[in-house]
Amino acid sequence: MSMTKITIDPDDQNVTYYGAKVRMSTEDREAMLYAVAMAPGLLYHITISYLRMRRRANKQGKEFYRALVRDGVPKDQARSLADEYSSAISLVKMIKEMRHFTS
């Protein structure tokens, strides 16, 4: 059983997409191949950007905690506020928010 859901016949103008044959122009086929070829690199760059953003949020959360404690906020309250501050950047929350744009 093949894992590929899209097959492109180089001798024909047909593209098989999830079992259905779709007729495409050469330009459309080239655009599809380009998009499929670029997807792994795009995913890599998005992942790296997200991880950098999380690292910055964690550092700023620690700075926020230290500032709260320095200004007299009890440590347990400061910890919960800092955790809430640094967890504002969440992949799950971002994906849930993106649902509104895709439907």
For tokens 């795009």, the residue is 42
User: With bands split at pLDDT 50, 70 and 90, how would you rate the model's confidence at 96?
Assistant: confident
In the numeric block, which tokens belong to residue 32?
């599809």
In the numeric block, which tokens belong to residue 55?
């690292």
Yes or no: say if 68 and 81 are a contact pair by the CB < 8 Å rule: yes
Which residue segment(s) compose the domain that 68 sits in? 6-102
Residue 31: inside a domain, yes or no? yes
45-64 residue pLDDT tens: 988 998 998 899 889 999 99
Q: How many domains, the chain?
A: 1
Tell me, what's the pLDDT at 1? 45
Q: Give me the sheet containing 6-8, strands edge to edge.
A: 6-8, 14-17, 20-23
Residue 78: inside a domain, yes or no? yes
What is the DSSP secondary structure assignment for residue 22, as one 8-state letter?
E
70-90 residue pLDDT tens: 999 999 999 999 988 888 777
Residue 97: inside a domain, yes or no? yes
0.85 exceeded by pTM: no
**CA-CA distance, 64 to 77, in Å (whole number)?**
12
Residue 10: inside a domain, yes or no? yes
Q: What's at 68, amino acid-wise?
A: L
Residue 62: inside a domain, yes or no? yes
Cβ-defined contacts of 44-53 (< 8 Å, 24+): 50/91, 53/89
Residue 1: inside a domain, yes or no? no
